[in-house]
Chain A
């Protein structure tokens, strides 16, 4: 049981390049989230998904797109990277089955630098 995994762990991009971050969970969770973490700002929700084939915007969605074609995977795309997207990105998943508390399980993060 690997929990939540993220690839890659590190990436350096040039302004204007594109990339996709992959998140996978093996806990059969229905909810998945992408956050970015910046110093002094905590975690800010980028996009989230309540189930396979559905996505929704979070607090800071501009410049990002997501897809959830399979229940266990949640992809975050940057079509044209900007220096303002330099951050640490975390994926998380959760379930409300059997528990209403929405404990979120986090991946180890992806550190992205945009030059």
Chain B
């Protein structure tokens, strides 16, 4: 069975500070891992995905994530937060089939 745990339902950072959103997963098969972003009153959109080609994955808007098999983690980072990054972020895992399991989400607040 697969599962995703996002540590911290809310994260607050100052503009210009490092963003770190944590995600740990459980999977019985090599997983595909995703980060989705949800801006207020919108649907989710893909930020980046890990597909085993490279452990460091770069996404849109300056975000990146590193797959660490030994830690079963896929944490999302951005060196310098911008006000427009304020949103909810979801980590997700797929078992290479058509189903995806989503984490509970982490809401990112960015302070001026």
Is there an interface contact between B43 and A90, defined as CB atoms closer than 8 Å? yes
Shortest B65–chain A CB gap in Å is 14
| Neighbouring B residues of A50 by C-beta, 8 Å | 98
Q: Quick one: which of B52-90 are within 8 Å of A by CB?
A: 90
Q: Quick one: which of A1-55 are within 8 Å of B by CB?
A: 4, 31, 35, 40-43, 45, 48, 50
- A side interface size, CB within 8 A: 23
Q: Quick one: which of B1-52 are within 8 Å of A by CB?
A: 9, 32, 34, 36, 41-46, 49, 51
Known contacts A42-B102, A100-B32, A101-B51: does B90 contact A108 (CB below 8 Å)?
A: no
Is A79 interfacial (CB-CB < 8 Å)?
no
> B43: which of A31, A101, A107 is its contact (CB, 8 Å)?
A107
Is there an interface contact between A106 and B98, defined as CB atoms closer than 8 Å? no
| Neighbouring B residues of A72 by C-beta, 8 Å | none
| Neighbouring B residues of A103 by C-beta, 8 Å | 34, 46, 49
| Neighbouring B residues of A115 by C-beta, 8 Å | none
> A102: which of B32, B44, B103, B105 is its contact (CB, 8 Å)?
B32
Q: Quick one: which of A65-109 are within 8 Å of B by CB?
A: 90, 92, 94, 96, 100-104, 106-109
Known contacts A40-B9, A42-B90, A42-B105: does B42 contact A102 (CB below 8 Å)?
A: no
| Nearest CB in chain A to that of B42: its residue | A108
| Nearest CB in chain B to that of A95: its residue | B98
In the docked arrangement, what's the CA distance between A94 and B103, Å? 19
Which A residues fall within an 8 A CB radius of B?
A: 4, 31, 35, 40-43, 45, 48, 50, 90, 92, 94, 96, 100-104, 106-109
